[in-house]
Amino acid sequence: MTKIKPPNYQFCPFCAGRLQVKDDGERERKFCPKCNWTYYPQVFTAVTALIRKKGKVLMVKRGREPFKDTWMFPGGFIEYGENPLTTLRREVKEETGLWVKKARLIDILEGKNDLRAPGNFHFLYEVAVEEGEIKTDGVENKDIGWFEARKPPKIGFASHIKIIKLLQRGI
Ligand SMILES: [Zn+2]
């Protein structure tokens, strides 16, 4: 379990009235007495793709904050209405130019140092892709390349450093 604090919202997102605090028997929760809306903090979910070829892994260099100019495995947040595989196909195509052929869930990691989404979970997939030329989107990222896990580039996200460590141990 990670000790994280969810966003401390003060106002109701529906009526903009000030939230009050009640005890629901388990813990204190914020609620709006006017709308009868209760704030249940939830974590974000994301997917990450492990794409391997000849002993190397495919990574992209971030063009945006957080951790601009560091490298990461392709992936992104699951949008409303998507299932994780839909997100995986979309993100892999956007960030690498390649189509997902097969995907297998290998781990679920916790994103501990991403302030946009504290405590997010991401589904790590081993991904087989169709043959093609690698090309990243150029907006979110500024470079793409293959790396050996024992000689990784500079990585910002703690969970992606963990993936490198798992690879070095031989997943
Ligand atoms: Zn309200």
Q: Express each pLDDT in 77-93 by its tens digit.
A: 999 999 999 999 999 99
Q: How far is the CA of 114 from the centre of ligand 1 (A)?
A: 29
Going from the Cα of 35 to the center of ligand 1, the distance in angstroms, rounded, reads 4
Q: Smallest Cα–Cα separation from 134: which of 97, 100, 90? A: 97
DSSP string, 101-135: EEEEEEEEEEE-S-TTSTTEEEEEEEEEE-S----
* pLDDT band at 2; cut points 50, 70, 90: low
pLDDT tops 70 at residue 33: yes
Together in a domain, 12 and 71: no
Residue 61 Cα, ligand 1 centroid: separation in angstroms?
42
Residues 83 and 124 in one domain: yes
Q: Which domain holds residue 22?
A: 7-41
CATH number at residue 93: 3.90.79.10
pLDDT digits (tens, 9 = 90+) for 123-167: 999 999 999 999 998 889 999 999 999 999 999 999 999 999 999
Same domain, residue pair 17 and 69 = no
16 and 82 co-located in one domain? no
- Ligand 1 centroid distance, CA of 36 (Å): 7
Centroid of ligand 1 to alpha carbon of 108 (angstroms):
35
Other beta carbons within 10 Å of 89: 17
Q: Which residues contact 164 (CB under 8 A, 6 or more apart)?
A: 149, 152, 155
Cα–Cα dist 122/39, whole Å: 23
pTM, two decimals, is 0.88
- Mark whether 34 and 102 lie in a shared domain: no
